[in-house]
Amino acid sequence: MNFFFIQDHQSRYRYFSSEPPKLIEVRLSKPKRAWELAKKKLMLLPQRTLRQEQAFERAIIHGGKPLRILHAAGVGEEEIRDRFTAFLRKQRASHVAVLVGEAILVPISGVVALLPGPNIAFYALALLMITQWLAFRGIQRTLQAEYDFVPDERFSAWEKAVQAGDEGKFPVILQSIEAEHGLKDLRKILWPGKRVRNP
């Protein structure tokens, strides 16, 4: 499995893995219909958010091998290592704040259970908390892991086009990256809101 640490169209770093997004696994039979609806709602999160959370989670199961992280060529290993560590620390603080907020909201959403019908709000929030918690654990694991930073010329071309503001090159570069690394819907992570037409 490869991990990617790349700037998006706004020069903000995005982190994701080569694995596509997946439904979270929750094995509870009683409120199965509500869980299924909540899982579908979770999949409606923006792809860059969902893929990042699941990339963090995948670090938990990655094992003892160094994480293989692809990044733009031209950035020295020490610099990319510093940027990645700062990114992870910022994400850890953000996840703690969100988990605290969600912990406050869960009892409130539980009150909605008094209304007829499945309590989708509670289950959706619970799934979001599970996702955030797994991501937080993955961030902790990633901070302690070893990395193999691998520069990639295609990502360099992408970041140069971003810095130059040359959106005309974006579709071709994104398609090249997708083809090389077996990725799908990369534009949803690096250039959301834009339709990529075949050149």
Query: Higher-confidence residue: 149 or 109?
Result: 149
Q: Quick: pLDDT tens for 118-137.
A: 666 777 787 788 888 989 99
Q: Does 198 map to a domain?
A: no
| Cα torsion through 172, 53, 128, 21, rounded to 10 | 50
Q: What average pLDDT does the chain have? A: 84
CA atoms of 88 and 171, how far apart (whole Å): 29
Read off the amino acid at residue 150.
V
Using the 8-state DSSP alphabet, how is residue 110 labeled? H
Query: Higher-confidence residue: 60 or 92?
Result: 92
Q: Does 197 map to a domain?
A: no
Read off the amino acid at residue 23.
L
pLDDT at residue 44, as a whole number: 61
Q: Which residue has the tokens 């988990």?
A: 99
Domain count, the chain: 1
Best CA proximity match to 156, nearest among 137, 131, 141, 177:
177
Q: Does 107 map to a domain?
A: yes
Q: Quick: pLDDT tens for 73-87.
A: 988 999 999 999 999
Question: Kind and range of the H or E element at 167?
Answer: none
pLDDT at residue 46, as a whole number: 78
Q: Does 30 map to a domain?
A: yes
Contacts of 188 (CB under 8 A, 6+ apart): 46, 47, 48
Percent of the chain with pLDDT over 70: 79
pLDDT at residue 90, as a whole number: 97
Q: Does 128 map to a domain?
A: yes
Best CA proximity match to 129, nearest among 173, 156, 96:
96
Percent of the chain with pLDDT over 90: 53
Query: Which has the minimum average pLDDT: 26-30, 75-79, 156-160, 187-191?
Result: 26-30
pLDDT band at 196 (very low <50, low <70, confident <90, very high): very low
Using the 8-state DSSP alphabet, how is residue 153 labeled? H
Domain range enclosing 45 = 2-190
Q: Does 195 map to a domain?
A: no
Query: Which has the minimum average pLDDT: 99-103, 153-157, 190-194?
Result: 190-194
